[in-house]
Amino acid sequence: MIFELLQEQLFQLALVAALLVGLCAPAVGTFIVQRRLALLGDGVGHVALTGVALGFLTGTAPVLTAVIVSIAGAVAIELVRARGRTSGDVALALLFYGGIAGGVMLMGIAPGGSTAKLNSYLFGAIASVTVEDIWVIAALAAAVLAVVAVFGRELFVLCQDEEMARASGLPVRFLSLLIAVTAALTVVIAMRVVGLLLVSALMVIPVATSQQLTRGFRTTMGLAMVFGVLASVGGLLASTYSAKVPPGAAIVLLALAGFVLALGVGRFVRRGRTQETTSSERPTLRVEEVA
């Protein structure tokens, strides 16, 4: 069955899209989770909805307008947060409400527009991905992964302690904006696969799953990317075998199942580490006591 699917172009395109999203979303999500901005993907996703509707209104490519509007929204939220005029959660709430309202309004006044056209972007439509979509997704994914590879060390320091990053001479404002822009690009990449309403889940859940099993930052990111790919491909296969299974929902539910499993396994892993540490310390304590 799988070999037959691999020979179909639609499945090949969907598989490539799932792989790219599964890699990019957790990679960026690692920095977002570390910086306690787990809902940033949701906020940007709602703004991207306005960008999609703007594309229908102007007769241009919805993906292109979604990229522009998402980047503008992500930069705005970061500037508002950095200047301290309002808290991060309030700014995200403004993006939530404004993005949804703007998208519905623009789609309503677009020629021949209807809110039904937004469904494929809200909930994903991986089966309808075209060759042109793949080229756009691949280009955006390459940009996201390049940012992670080049600025990974600096972004890690920033996410750990912003004051330490500033004291170390790092360009905090630039790096903060870089995270926001990268998150915006990731949202646009994933909107055709899992949908704008569920994109944040693929950015956060694999990272939370990986944190149950690992301690190092690089290890956490690498394992999160593995979990992201497994969830994306698994959800795609589930929707392929049953037309009644929505791919976006299947991807997120598989990611959640992985988290629940890792939650139980992580307890045994941490218990084993504790016992190893305790056993390694006991001989030293005994020698000191004898001395």
Model confidence over 169-206: pLDDT tens digits? 888 888 888 888 888 888 888 887 787 777 888 889 99
The answer on pLDDT for 22 being more than 80 is yes
Model confidence over 60-115: pLDDT tens digits? 778 888 888 888 888 887 777 776 655 556 766 777 788 888 888 888 787 766 66
| Spatial separation of the C-alpha atoms in residues 205 and 61, rounded to whole Å | 30
pLDDT for the residue 2: 59
pTM: 0.80
CB neighbour burial string for 137-162, b if at least 16 within 10 angstroms, e if fewer: beebbebbbebbeebbebbbbbbeeb
- Rounded mean pLDDT of the chain? 79
